[in-house]
Amino acid sequence: MSEKLPKLSQKKARSQSLYENQVATKKLKESLYNLQTSRYGQKPQKNPVIESIVREADLVLTNQHLKENLFKLKDLGLLRNCQPRIQTQSGLKKKDFILNDYHNKSTINGYSRNYGGLFYNR
């Protein structure tokens, strides 16, 4: 873990600990986002996985084991937003599909790359 995050102390005055909590939460969020892959143009994308971790920042920052494993997950690339981008065909019989460029590369060859992940022959 190369990131240095501030520790939260429970003994300080309420206003000072709230300020430190906000700073620690902000640093946690900045350290989890990978700015090269999380940006589209100038607007950062929302990642529900990281947003839920930041909501529980008090628990993450106080538990050292949880914090270390969280950064291991980041190094493995498992904190990414894996929701597929679904397109809709134009015309009368509209079908939802996922472009080949955007499908999950870990799908097995026997499965179609549509939203349901059904077999090709069904």
pLDDT at 107: 54
What residues contact 58, with CB distance under 8 A and at least 6 apart?
8, 21
Lowest mean pLDDT among 16-20, 32-36, 37-41: 37-41
Distance, CA of 8 to CA of 11 (rounded, Å): 9
Residue 89 has pLDDT above 60, yes or no: yes
- Percentage of the chain surpassing pLDDT 90? 0
Distance, CA of 15 to CA of 100 (rounded, Å): 51
Q: How confident is the model at residue 26 (pLDDT cuts 50, 70, 90)?
A: confident
3-state secondary structure of 40: strand
- Percentage of the chain surpassing pLDDT 70? 44
